[in-house]
Homo-oligomer: A and B are copies of this chain.
């Protein structure tokens, strides 16, 4: 049997938003590797009793990936876990970076990426249907890319008329960037463009704030927030005593 390694997306947080395929991978694990928050969630979802737990800091992704590949070569069944989908700012890319820089035999490992519901999908479902047209997903973190590039991408995405989903919008080390991002977008998009801040969707601390680009403030977001910026075809449906629904027209006139 060739060595096997699973990289699993656990979905946005609610237990019932994981796929059966992801649950099946967890059930086979001899080792679970990941950031504390996601390993804890994997344990709650159900892993075999004797599974070895490897919790590591969120910034040690490449080390974690190499460790998982080594475990696979030893004949164990490692499962690397990410929140949402592991391919979207999760662990999948780190695993292949490790493979590319590692020994040739790692290319024979049967690496099974198990997709999951990524945050932009659960947030959109909670808000209505804001992704009804074309859209993009951008990480606002400049840990991995220069801020100039982030700003340039925001401007071009807005010029293209794409709905924009921002992952990692804010952290303690860069409190001002989201406001810079909004300022960039205001140069292209109308003041009335709908903006949503969706925090911890699918988890008990869930919070939604819907506003306009003119009024949007970075302080409404933290690292658990996904920020969604509409386009010229995003509409608001007001409702009594509840958050309005957002949706984007399928048809562009």
Contacts and interface: CB of A to CB of B under 8 A. Distances in A.
Interface string A63-82: 00000000000000000000
Contact of A136 (B114, B134, B159): B134
A96 B245 contact: yes
A122 interface: yes
A115 B18 CA distance: 11
Contacts of A193: none
A124 B87 contact: yes
B92 A113 contact: no
Contacts of A162: 136, 138, 153, 157
B134 A139 contact: yes
Interface stretch (A9-17, A32-40, A170-178, A219-227): A9-17
A99 B137 CA distance: 27
A19 B24 contact: no
A19 B117 contact: yes
Contact of A160 (B92, B95, B114, B153): B153
A156 B153 CA distance: 9
A97 to B, nearest CB: 7
| Number of chain A interface residues as a range | 35 or more
Nearest to A244: B107
A152 interface: yes
A3 to B, nearest CB: 14
A218 interface: no
Interface string A120-143: 011011101111111111110000
Contacts of A18: 19-20
A121 to B, nearest CB: 4
A118 interface: yes
Interface of A: 9, 11-12, 14-21, 24, 61, 85-89, 92-97, 99-100, 107-108, 111, 113-118, 121-122, 124-126, 128-139, 144-146, 149, 152-153, 156-157, 159-162, 235, 237-240, 245, 247-252
